[in-house]
Amino acid sequence: MVDGYGVLQAFRRKAIALGAVFETADVRQVLCSAGRVAAVACADGRRFEADALLIAAGAWSAPLAAQLGFELPVRPRKRDVFVLASPAALPACPLVIDPSGVWFRPEGRGFIAGCPPRGEDVDDAPLEAIDHRLFEEVIWPALAPPRAGVRRALRATGAWAGYYEFNTFDQNGIVGQLPGCANAFVGCGFSGHGIQQAPAVARGPGRTDRARPP
Ligand SMILES: Cc1cc2nc3c(=O)[nH]c(=O)nc-3n(C[C@H](O)[C@H](O)[C@H](O)COP(=O)(O)OP(=O)(O)OC[C@H]3O[C@@H](n4cnc5c(N)ncnc54)[C@H](O)[C@@H]3O)c2cc1C
């Protein structure tokens, strides 16, 4: 099991050690010249020239790709996560996903769990509107039977929500060069499993400086 934020920080520190420079800015406009991305303009007025552009803006990638004439099927879809306390000891328990979509995995001393929303899966629903009854009516009944040692002492101690960068076409990541724009690439739409794929995606097609294997 990985700590997603910890992994992100480790990659960030390594990139900085290798010479990468991180700037925090909200990209508003992608500027093109002769069929290539030339620069991006940011909300704070700054402009960054670009040899290449990688659109990896998670749930907010589609509006950027749209500026290059490409419609990405990636939308922000809210997912509630419940923090669970349970006396169950499940050494080496992996992420477990029920066929119904209910999932759980170890986190700290307990577990976290979630499932798809009930009803309409709307774009960009407010994060603070957590559906607490999801735990009582969907997740708890799925986990409370003696499955993998998780028993009736299971209770929710907290909840939070985030946006999946949801690929409405097939719920898989979209990776590669944008057709018709030689120096623009995308890496997004991982639909809630991006931490597992990010290291491979960063080494994948689109990098032009790597020698092809023999
Ligand atoms: C509730 C929840 C649970 C999850 N659980 C798991 C799990 O168990 N395992 C797993 O593998 N994955 C999980 N994920 C998915 C994982 O978090 C994502 O797949 C992963 O973060 C996607 O990485 P990313 O770099 O593509 O996008 P993000 O991590 O979303 O990063 C995109 C970045 O782009 C920035 N950005 C957006 N727009 C702009 C702009 N215009 N200009 C500049 N910057 C911009 C954003 O601020 C953000 O920092 C979960 C996600 C959620 C919401």
Q: Whose CA is nearest to atom 3 of ligand 1?
A: 192
Residues 92 and 134 in one domain: yes
CA-105 nearest atom, ligand 1: 8
- For residues 56, 59, 61, 64, the Cα torsion angle rounded to the nearest 10 degrees is -140
pLDDT at 152: 60
Within this chain, do residues 118 and 81 fall inside the same structural domain, yes or no?
A: yes
Residues 158 and 85 in one domain: yes
Residue located nearest, by CA, to atom 24 of ligand 1: 58
61 and 85 together in one domain: no
Contact 67, 30 (CB under 8 A): yes
Listed in order, strand segments (DSSP E) in the chain are 27-33, 36-42, 47-49, 53-55, 74-85, 96-97, 103-107, 110-114, 155-167, 174-177, 184-188
Residues 146 and 185 in one domain: no
**pTM above threshold 0.85:** yes
Question: Could you read off the pLDDT of 43-66 as tens digits, one per residue?
Answer: 999 999 999 999 999 999 999 999
Q: Are residues 48 and 154 located together in one domain of the fold?
A: no
Output the domain CATH number for residue 115: 3.30.9.10
Instruction: Decide: 83 and 158 in contact? Cβ < 8 Å.
Output: yes
In this predicted model, what pLDDT tens digit does every residue of 2-22 receive, in sequence order?
A: 788 899 999 999 999 999 999
- What is the C-alpha to C-alpha distance for residues 65 and 67, in angstroms, rounded to an integer? 5
**Which residue segment(s) compose the domain that 193 sits in?**
4-73+169-202
Pocket of ligand 1 (CB under 6 A): 26-27, 56-58, 60, 64, 79, 81, 95, 162-165, 188, 190, 192-196, 198
The reply to whether 195 and 174 lie within a common domain is: yes
Residue 148 CA to ligand 1 centre (angstroms): 29
- Kindly state whether residue 213 falls inside one of the protein's structural domains: no
C-alpha of 85 from chain center: 25
**Are residues 195 and 143 both part of a single domain?**
no
- Least confident range of 33-37, 83-87, 147-151: 147-151
Residues 48 and 17 in one domain: yes
Would you say residue 214 has pLDDT above 90?
no
Q: Any idea which residue has 């500026």 for tokens?
A: 67
pLDDT digit string, tens, across residues 108-146:
888 999 999 988 888 989 999 999 999 999 998 888 765
- The reply to whether 212 falls in a domain is no
Nearest-CA residue for atom 43 of ligand 1: 26
If you average pLDDT over residues 27-44, what whole number do you get?
96
Instruction: Report pLDDT digits (tens) over 94-112.
Output: 999 999 899 999 988 889 9
206 φψ region: left (φ > 0), alpha (ψ -120 to 50), beta (else): left
Residue having the nearest C-alpha atom to atom 39 of ligand 1 = 57
Total number of domains constituting the chain: 2
Do 153 and 184 belong to one domain? no
Q: Domain check: are 145 and 188 in the same one?
A: no
